[in-house]
Chains A and B, each alone.
Chain A
Amino acid sequence: MSEVVLSIDKLSKRYGRIKALDELSLDIEKGNIFGILGPNGSGKTTTLGIVLDAINATSGSFKWFGETPTKNHRKKIGAILESPVFYPYMSATKNLEIIAEIKSASYDQIPEVLKTVDLFERRNSKFRTYSLGMKQRLAIAAALLGKPEVLILDEPTNGLDPKGISEIRDIIKKIASVGLTLVLASHLLDEVQKVCTHVAILEKGKKLFSGRINEILKETLYVEVGSPDMKALHASLSIFNKVQIVEADDNVIAVKLDEKMDSSELNKYLLEKGISISHISIKKKSLENYFLELLAESHDKTS
């Protein structure tokens, strides 16, 4: 069994009558690229705030590296919570020196991390002169100081323009390839889908799902077929026991295939039935579809 880096046990947080977090349990293992997904206000930042000691939990507990959390664990964690935060009247280098002091890290790493996020040239500019994208990159540089074992990024692309988003994404991919444990909270589904290996989906402080992203995407593989004779196609497909019709309209029918089936076999079957095919394509159901399904399900339950 692999090593659990962060273990969250029935964590709850109340703000007056509002439950921001409702008995959330979660395990994050070493080497995971773990996405925490959820709409705004679903408890992502609250969860990360609690495990980083910025927010006090109402009840429940959590462990870092299997131990009761202390400040020394946080020194091994690089984190950005919400918007980038630094002393505006100080340069990037001076700001990072403070972070290095707190983390008991060497100043020697500062040029290195600044280069990683492409801010080395602007290292002596005051923080307040930075654009939002640069501020966000500096926050990532700060998180990388002290060679952390775990990196926590909360909405790292929030408020950025497309160029800024792709820059941050490149940096994340670069970091992820080193083998760090990475926790990424986001409401942007395709961001999570692109980089994460595991995902937890939250809504209103409750966990709707957690597991490998592959599992979600594998089980939701489906094929779209179209034919000039849609009636015959529909009839043939509905009697075929190795597929299941998911969706049908005037132009295409979407079917879910049996595990051992593949699209060429489906093609062969339809040809044998004498149905000509004008369109066939394999669709991976995106995380977005799955996410929306889950949300709809949870709404059905509650309403």
Chain B
Amino acid sequence: MIRLLNIEFKKVIYNKTFWVLLGLYGIILGGILIGVQTFINELMVDVGKDAPIPVSKISLYEFPGIWQNFTFLAGNFKIILAMIVIIIITNEYSYKTIRQNIVTGMSRMDFLMSKLLMTFVISLAATIFIFILGFILGVINTPEVTFLMIFEKTVFIFAYLLELFAFLSFALLLGLLSKRSGFAIGLFFLYYYVIERFINYKLPDDWGDFLPLRAIANLIDTPNTALMKLFGYNFREVVAPQDVIVVLSFTALFIYLMFLILKKRDL
């Protein structure tokens, strides 16, 4: 396992596209998470001027709410990570190095395992990034920090890790299927923004929750901020076991499909 991961690291360490996209992800997401508080408060002040009831300032950065706020917001940017994963797998096809890897002495399962490990490491790194950022901003902005407060809702951090890994496994599957990066990314966007939404629209109520990307998005619901309460919304503040089961099943299915493709396909 360590050896496979080592090989993967060697492949990406000199790959500029990988680092550019990863840097972009870090900067965009970091910037937004650090700036979002100021932005929303500006907005609240504007809303507050004409509001019939007084609108209080809210803090997104207070424990334990910060975990849901951050993981929910960060979820919107996972598409950049999906592009990284697609490039990692399609490069092997466009350079034909997958063939060379196998001929040299990797088994096809080793190859799949190395890509899954890399996908997991990317998911884990992105999760740790959110955790560290959340921890720092939380400690700074929470008036009275207690140990319990910090860890009370860290379930969202684990849900976020699952969300990323499932989402990126789907990206890996599309990359493996189409072999070409442009095509895979196009297919991904098409499915994500058009096809699945259309299917969801056509399906009876609640059935849409069993669609893969929708189920993944459902893991972490919109946080209940004061703003949301103002509009009368009430979202879930927990991670629903049903969503976890659906997402885990889809992830297992994606991995199994990749296994079949790699086993059957000539390289």
**Which residues on A are within 8 Å of B, measured CB to CB?**
49, 52-56, 70-72, 74-75, 77, 79, 81, 83, 85-90, 94, 97-99, 101-104, 142
Contact = CB atoms under 8 A, between A and B. Distances in A.
Nearest to A57: B266
A103 B14 CA distance: 21
Given A86-B95, A101-B7, A56 B264 contact: yes
A103 B267 contact: no
A99 B100 CA distance: 9
B95 A87 contact: yes
Interface string B3-40: 10011001100111000000000000000000000000
B242 interface: no
Given A54-B266, A54-B267, A98 B10 contact: yes
Contacts of A54: 99, 102-103, 266-267
Given A81-B99, A85-B100, A94-B14, A102 B266 contact: no
Contacts of B96: 83, 85
A11 to B, nearest CB: 14
5 contacts: A53-B103, A54-B102, A54-B103, A77-B105, A89-B16
Contacts of A71: 105-107, 110
Nearest to B264: A56
Contacts of B102: 52-54, 74
Given A55-B266, A56-B266, A102 B11 contact: no
A83 B95 CA distance: 11
A114 to B, nearest CB: 17
A192 B105 CA distance: 27
A86 B105 contact: no
B101 interface: yes
Interface in B250-267: 264, 266-267
A243 to B, nearest CB: 51
Nearest to A146: B105
B63 to A, nearest CB: 43
Contacts of B76: none
B97 interface: yes
B267 A101 contact: no
Which of B91, B99, B105 gathers the greatest number of chain A CB atoms within 10 Å? B105
A89 B3 contact: no
A136 B97 CA distance: 15
Contacts of B105: 71-72, 74-75, 77, 102-104
A87 B8 CA distance: 12
B99 A102 contact: no
B104 A103 contact: yes
Contacts of A142: 100, 104
B180 interface: no
B104 A87 contact: no
Contacts of B179: none
A79 B267 CA distance: 15
Contact of A79 (B10, B11, B103, B110): B103
Contacts of B100: 81, 85-86, 99, 142
A98 B99 contact: no
A68 to B, nearest CB: 13
Given A97-B10, A102-B7, A74 B95 contact: no
Given A89-B15, A90-B14, A99 B104 contact: yes
